[in-house]
Amino acid sequence: MADVIREAPLGQLIRWLTGNKYLKYPEEEADFQCPKCYSNAERVDSLSSTVEDKADLDPNEAAYGKEAGDAVAREQKASALTEDAHDRPDLQALQTQKTNVTVESIVTEHDIKKMNTQTTHVPIRSSIGAQPALTRTKTREMTRAYTRERFDIEREAQSLKELHMPIVAQRNEDGDILVDWYTTDDPANPQNWSSKKKLFVGTQIFLYTFVVYAASSIYVPSQYGVMEAFGVGYEKASLGLSMYVIGYGIGPLLFSPLSEIPLFGRNVPYIVSFALFVILCVPLALVENYAGLLVLRFLVGFMGSPCLATGGATMQDMYSFLKLPYALTFWVAAAFNAPALGPVLSAFAVTAKGWRWSLWEVLWASAPVFILMFVAMPETSSSNILLRRARRLRAKCGNGRLKAQSEVDQGNMKIGTVIWNSIVVPVEISIKDPAVLFTNIYTALQYGIYYSFFEVFPLVYPVMYGFNLGETSIVFVCITVACILGIIIYCSYVYWYLEPDIVKNGLRAQEHRLVPAVFASFGIPIGLFIFGWTSNPDIHWIASVIGITTFAASGFVLFQCIFMYLPLSYPQYAASLFATNDTWRSALAAGAVIFARPLFINLGVGRGVSILAGLAVGGVVGMFGLYYYGAKLRARSKFAVT
C-alpha cells in the first residue's frame, strides 16, 4: 500500500513539501546500487551488441532496488534453473523459443506521436543458459492503441515476465542512455501490477466516471423547480442538462492530448480538473440567477470530462490486450448506466427538499471519490513513470546522459504539431474517412436517442400511467438491467469465442470485431418500435419498459464493438478520435434534450419514436456495409491500418 500512496497525488505532494525526505523511491535509498548499464557509459556500448557468451555478466546489471528484489538472489535462482534445465523439457522448450527473438517496432508513418526520435533496440539478458541475448524493439509508450505487431510484442513480454529477466539499457544515436524497466517483471510497470491493485485502481476510475455522468441527469427532476425559481419555460430549464453535456463533450479535446504528455501523465489532468469540479459544485448549488446556473453547469461538465478522455487510457495502461475488453466493459458500463440512475438518485429528495437538493447531491457524491483518488490513485502512465525514474537515476548515478524515451521525444516536440495532430487531423479523418464518419454519426444518433428519454418519459409514465416524479425516475432502472445483460452478452462472447480465437489464430481483420455489433444493430430499432407503440394507457407499462431494455442492451454491445474497432483500425489517432467521437455524441445528445420534447408533443410518442427508430434502421444497413466493405475502405484510406 505504501507504493500506492507514494505514487498518488498526496504522496507526491508530501515528497515535494519535504524535499523527497519521506516516501522515498528505491533509487533514493542509501543502499541502492546503480545498475552498471546506467552508471558506466562505456559498459553500455559493449552490452548493446549481441553477445554469444554471457557467462561473465555482472550481477549488478540486474539490480533494480528493493521493489524488484535482490539481484544476486535472482541470478542464483537463474543458475539453479539452468542446472535443472536438462530435467525440465518445458524449460528447454521455453529457452529455445526465446532465443534470437526480435520484435518489430509498431511505429507507423502517420504516428500521431511522431517526434523524429530514434527507436532503440534493448538487449534483454537471459539468465538461463549461455544463449545469445534476446532483443526487442522499444515501443513508444505514448502510442497506446493496438496493432497486430503490438499484440505480438505484448504476448512476448508476458512470457518473458515469468522468467524475471533483467533488461539492459541501450544508447540512441545521440548517445543518450534510455532508461527502461529494470526487469521484465518490474513492479513499477503498471502491466505487472497484481490483480488486486489493478482492480483497486479500476474501481476508482469506475466511481469517478459514474459520479461525473450521473451528475448530468441528476438535474432532470429539478427542472420544474428551476422553472418556478427563475421564471423560465421548460425548454430553457432543460438547458441545464444540455450545457453540462456540451461541457463534457468539449473537455476531451483538451484533456485527452494533455494526458498523453509524459510530463503530466494521467493524474495531473484527473486531480486538477476533478478538484475544480468539486469546488464548482458549491457555487452551483447556491447560484441565484439563471445565467449563472447555465455557466456553472457547463464548467462543471467540462471539468468532469477527463474521466472519459483518459479513463480508457488508464485501463490500457494496466491491462493486456486479451484482458482489456473486460476492463473497458465495466468502465463503459459506468458511463452508460450513470445517466439513467441520476434521476433515481435525486427524484424523491427533490420532491421532499426542493430543486437545489440534486445539485448538493453531486457535491456529496464527488467529494469522497476525489479524496480517495487524491490519497490512493497511483500514476499509470508508463511514460511518466519512466520519466521520473530517469531523473532519479541521473541524481543517483551521476550520469547526465540518462534519459527517458519521452524526454528524447519532448526535445523535438512542437506545440503546433501536437495541436494539429490532436485536434485538426482527427477532424479531417472524421470528414474524409467514410468508416469514421459513419461510426461518429451512428454512435451520436444512439446517444441522442438515449438522452431523448429524459424528455419522453415524463410524457409517458406520469400522463399515461399516473406515475409520480419518483416512480417515473425508477423506470430508468431498466437501463441498469440492460447494462447487466449487455455485459453478460459481450463478456461471454469475448471469453468463450474471441479470446480463444485470438490465442489460436492471432488477430484477424478488424471487421471481425463487429460481428456482435451487426446483430445488436437490429435490437436498437426493434426496442424503439416496441417502446413507441406500446406506450399506451391500454397496454401495461412493462411492455414499453421491455422495449427500452432491448434498445439499451443492444446499444451497449454496439458501443463496445465500435470502441474496439476504432483503435485497431486507426491506432496512431485512437486517443484523439475517441475525443472527437465524444464531441459528436455529446453535441447531438445536448440537441436531443432540446428538440425531443417538441417532437413528441407535436407528433405523439408513437410517431416521434418511430422517426428515431427509422434512423436506427439506416444504422443497420451501415453496420452491414462497414462489416463487409470495411477492409476495402481502410485500404483506400491514408489514415487507417490495413
Report the alpha-carbon distance of residue 367 to residue 617 in Å, rounded.
42
Domain contains 555:
yes
Q: Are strands 402-404 and 121-124 parallel, antiparallel or unpaired?
A: unpaired
Confidence of residue 76 (pLDDT cuts 50, 70, 90): very low
Domain boundary among 188, 211, 228: 188
Q: Are residues 280 and 170 in the same domain?
A: no
Residue 412 lies in a domain: no
User: Minimal CA–CA distance to 74: which of 85, 84, 61, 93?
Assistant: 61
**pLDDT higher for 400 or 135?**
400
C-beta of residue 435 within 8 angstroms of C-beta of residue 577: no
The stretch 175-184 carries a mean pLDDT of 86
Residue 390, domain member (yes or no):
no
pLDDT value at 140 more than 60: no
* Domain of residue 321, CATH code: 1.20.1250.20
Q: Are 240 and 593 in contact (CB under 8 A)?
A: no
Query: Which residues does 446 contact at the CB level (< 8 Å), separation at least 6?
Result: 524, 555, 558, 559, 616, 619
- Calpha distance 392→64 (Å, rounded): 13
Lookup result for grid cell 478522455: 309
Place of cell 507504493: 3
Instruction: Name the CA dihedral angle for 394, 399, 404, 406, rounded to a multiple of 10 degrees.
Output: 100
The answer as to whether 400 is a domain residue is: no
Please identify which residue in the block is written with the cell numbers 419555460.
Answer: 233
Q: Does residue 580 carry a pLDDT above 80? A: yes
Residue 443 located in a structural domain = yes
CA distance 560 to 247: 23
Q: Are residues 266 and 346 in the same domain?
A: yes
User: Same domain, yes or no, for 209 and 237?
Assistant: yes
Answer whether residue 385 is part of any domain: no
What pTM was estimated for this model as a whole?
Answer: 0.81
Mean of the per-residue pLDDT values of the chain: 80
Strand-pair category, 402-404 with 177-179: parallel
* Shared-domain flag, residues 24 and 54: no
3-state helix, strand, coil in the chain (%, to 5): 70, 5, 25
Q: Which of 136, 168, 188 represents a domain boundary (last residue)?
A: 188
Q: What is the pLDDT of residue 135?
A: 38
Q: What is the pLDDT of residue 38?
A: 77
Residues 553 and 453 reside in one and the same domain? yes
**Quick one: 301 and 352 in the same domain?**
yes
Q: Are residues 162 and 233 in the same domain?
A: no
**352 and 485, same structural domain?**
no
Residues 364 and 467 placed together within one structural domain of the fold: no
Residue 56 banded pLDDT, cuts 50, 70, 90: very low
- 201 & 129 share domain: no
Mean pLDDT, to the nearest integer, of 494-507?
A: 87
Task: Note the pLDDT of residue 426.
Answer: 76
| pLDDT range class, residue 82, cuts 50, 70, 90 | very low
Best CA proximity match to 25, nearest among 403, 395, 401: 395
Residues 486 and 631 placed together within one structural domain of the fold = yes
Domain count, the chain: 4
Instruction: State whether 240 and 370 are in the same domain.
Output: yes
Does residue 550 have a pLDDT over 70? yes
Domain-embedded: residue 77: yes
Residue 73 is predicted with a pLDDT of 39
For 29-55, the pLDDT digits (tens) are: 888 888 777 765 444 444 444 333 433
Confidence of residue 103 (pLDDT cuts 50, 70, 90): very low
Report d(CA 401, CA 575) in Å as an integer. Answer: 31
- Nearest C-alpha neighbor of 236 from the set 226, 250, 222: 226
Q: Is 627's pLDDT higher than 80?
A: yes
Please report which helix (H) or strand (E) contains residue 406, including its range. helix 405-411
Range of the domain at 328: 194-380
Domain end, chosen from 380, 397, 416, is at 380
User: Which one-letter amino acid corresponds to residue 279?
Assistant: I
Residue 404 resides in a domain? no
User: Tell me, what's the pLDDT at 167?
Assistant: 81
Label residue 62 by pLDDT band (50, 70, 90). Answer: very low
